[in-house]
Amino acid sequence: MKQIHIRLARPEEFARIGDITVAAYSRLEDTSNPVVDEYMEDLRDVEPRARDAEVLVAADNQNNVLGAVTLVLDASSPLAEFEEPGAASFRMLAVAPEAQGMGIGKLLAEYCIRRARDAGAHSVLIHSRDTMIKARDIYAKMGFKRYGDIDFEVDDIKLNGFRLDL
């Protein structure tokens, strides 16, 4: 495996991050749904996320961005999909199609967990769709447990909550 490092995203990488995220999510979603189309626009627009949370990238030694994730360190962030004080979350985790299967998604998730712990969070809360089978398997192996208290639905798109206590 290539040597991969995780770091904060740079503004000049936002377009690449948007492309990676849309490519990854397009494979999972019904893009004929207007709600999904709107979400794809949000996925592509990285700059606002970087203002309200930590956008992290997985990059190789040549600084090629291979994956990205948005880390939300507390419920006060506009990007928080939860209200629990002392919890953190990560969202919009995506790996470039050419880098999938290299363990990059797991590296990004593990980094988010360490970062949340270092920031004093007591748990990490995430959402996943039934269609995100590989991601859900990785999360289960990392110790995330189903947490229905934070489930929600947007126009027939159900997001299931998961929790990892730190």
The reply to whether 136 falls in a domain is no
The reply to whether 143 falls in a domain is no
- Given this model, what pLDDT does residue 156 score? 73
Least confident of 21-35, 81-95, 113-127: 21-35
- Given this model, what pLDDT does residue 71 score? 98
The reply to whether 74 falls in a domain is yes
Query: How many structural domains comprise the chain?
Result: 1
36, 37, 41, 44: CA torsion to nearest 10: 70
Q: What is the CATH number of the domain that holds 26?
A: 3.40.630.30
Name the residue range of residue 17's domain: 5-124
Residue 31's pLDDT band (boundaries 50, 70, 90)? Answer: low
The reply to whether 13 falls in a domain is yes
Q: Tell me if 122 sits within 8 A of 87, measured CB to CB.
A: yes
DSSP state of 29: S
- Given this model, what pLDDT does residue 106 score? 94
Residues 6+ apart with CB under 8 A from 150: 81, 82, 84, 125, 127, 161, 163
The reply to whether 112 falls in a domain is yes
The reply to whether 43 falls in a domain is yes
The reply to whether 101 falls in a domain is yes
The reply to whether 131 falls in a domain is no
